[in-house]
Structure 1
Amino acid sequence: MREVISHAVAMAAVAMLLTAAVSAPAAAETWDEFVNGLWPEAEAQGVSRKTFDDAFRGLKPDLSLPDLIVPGKKRDDSAGQAEFTKSAFEYLNPKYLSSLSEKGRKFLKDHEKEIIEIERKTGVDRYIMVAIWGRETAYGRHKLPHDAIRVLATQAYTGRRKDQFRAEILAALKMLQEGVPREKMRASWAGAVGQTQFMPTEYFQHLEDGDGDGKVDIFDSVPDALASAARQLANKGWVRGLRWGYEIDLPANGDCSLEGPPGERTIGEWRKLGLKRHGKTPFKPAEDSISAYLMMPSGSFGPGFLATENFKVIRLYNTSDLYALFVGDLADRIAGGGGFHVPAAKVAQPRTAQVSEIQARLAKLGYGIDIVDGKIGSNTRRQVGTYQKASGLKITCWPTADVLKSLRANPASNP
């Protein structure tokens, strides 16, 4: 999930990046002050004093986690979510996807009856369900390394997204109050829990009984975890029977600056612009009315896709283009297809500071950058491509050192 930063604050933050790598400001409160200040909010949500005290007894922040603001510690751009620190080439590893697809087919066979029933109830494609499970925990092989309460409390105390994680730690405390055992609350570094990785605030919104026993357990019940993941997708707008997207070929006069949800058109309109579906299967006339937007995760250096409404829904499960692509391709592979015709190129993944500076300078010039976060999403790629087109640069839609050099040469872009 992303943090929206005001334009003024974003400019100030990036100005510091431009001048020097400075230490982050000290926390406004001590750990004990943070915990004591959290109690009234937890109590208001129905958490008992005993549950609260048990949760925090002997607990100290884990300052080794990514995405923290720690006095005297320089932020490590290489740490954090793989979706934002790895290139598409690294993230969409064909060998790993192939291996997971084999395990996914076995997993589907083992749980076919329950999965088909979940698909019937929610409308969510069975292969997407199984792919999400595979991406999150490799079908249970990946063991979550962290205590969720410690992770969430640390992020709420001194993380870059304090307000967001304050809501998450309160929801996690409520989970304990509702009877979830502490030992079950194992998490990723960002605090997602359960077999299909729910953030605690999502836990109370999308629970679904998948095995019909009258209770929901996303930690130990495979059907419950799958049903709850499917219910979350359904609640967020999943369209029954719609593909997640299509790999496409751009025409010779097409370019990646058309990318992103603002440029969404029907497939019929994209076809009139010269886009074709890659491979031997052309678009069907019945697909002409489907709305989709152009998505190119490596800019002009890799494959392009038309992403449908269901791609957007997968992104709501984890707000990353690469995550949604991974899930979509893995689902296709489990179903017997999959594999991209144009592999992602070995293009360098720019450092967070470089991307942040490019975003800030583009915003200063009036380009549509409203989030300066150092992450390469479709809007950043679109605005980079638009700038390259206007500046007579080669259009790659990728925040390269050459783009930054060009921007720095323009005094009007100085934050």
Structure 2
Amino acid sequence: MANRIHHKIVIIGGGSAGIATASSMLKRRPSLDIAIVEPAEDHYYQPGWTMVGGGIFEAPATRRPMASVMPKAATWIREAAASFQPEDSQVTLSDGTVLGYDVLVVAPGIRLAWDRVDGLEQALGTNGVTSNYRYDLAPYTWELVRNLKSGRAIFSQPPMPIKCAGAPQKAMYLACDAWIERGILADIDVEFRNASGVLFGVKEYVPALRDYIENYGIDLKLNQTLVAVDGPARQAVFRTEAGEETVEFDMLHAVPPQVAPQFVADSPLANTESGFVDVDKFTLRHVRYPNVFGVGDAGSTPNAKTAAAARKQAPIVAVNALAALDAKQPVAEYDGYGSCPLTVERGKIVLAEFGYDGKLLPSFPKWVIDGTKPRKLSWLLKSEALPWIYWNGMLKGHEWMVKPHMGKAA
């Protein structure tokens, strides 16, 4: 017979969203019975990987033992979730354990679907094929940038949704900046092949990015989707509006398509269209199961999937999940906030901050930081302040500048 356990609150996922939500709940109720289901032994500050690929951070600075970030008052269950039975308020784990809950928070992140680009996974890490979307590959990106002297460098971006929609071009801008410093950018043909029809999804930030595209001499190609990679031949195949095109490269920074984790997509919790956890975009409560919430990249909400979004969502889910535990209605609302600090050169960033429907949601007055322009202060925020805030604030339940907004949900 299966082992059965019950906790008041069960959180699936020990990434940024799951840990931050647990910590925010425990700040409100220190004696809360809460369990976090997470099989990984390490926790990563993923926004730092762009900086690793640009030669600014060392990779180990973005990794810490999971035990060091797990809230001390939470029960850490070192297993993976296998399936959900929301009608019975339970989760089945990979070892067969049945885990019951009063309230469930689903935060397993997003799946990097390397397998959806033919040959990509096998090509990674050799023959000039890299990606800042993996901890072990970000240093290889910097190695390629340092060693390239001439040829073609391609930076790809898949269809949405993806984690941090600006990351594919951040890698490119930092590479170009390094090549300018070495005086070789003119010898490198840089291409940005983006599956989208626009450079960036929020129009207010496009002019500044366009300036950098022109200044770096980047060949911008829209509506181009990477479908296959042949590492040894150094060839990539893109699907374009005119058909498939095979191009040769000396360096390829590839970003994989990204989808809901399979055990979520296959579950009753999934949105039928996207496969992500089907939640109300304001309360983050499941649309069919009132004692289930989704937070972070695994949610169906139409916001940018960024660590900044998870930082904003976590306190909202904490408040609303505790209300559900008390048999009350949600009282906090999410405005779709996400942030993408676009590293356009070493020392300057375009700080994109926006919410639902592309509404600008700046954290600072324009006279402090004008997010639509490249600014040094934004760089200091990204390189110095945000990593510290992540490890010492967000993961510990400190809700600096992200106190939940009590909206119409009440």
TM category, shorter: under 0.3
Structure number with greater Rg is 1
Instruction: Give the TM-score, by structure 2 length.
Output: 0.25
The structure whose residues are more often strand, as a share, is 2
Instruction: Give the TM-score, by structure 1 length.
Output: 0.25
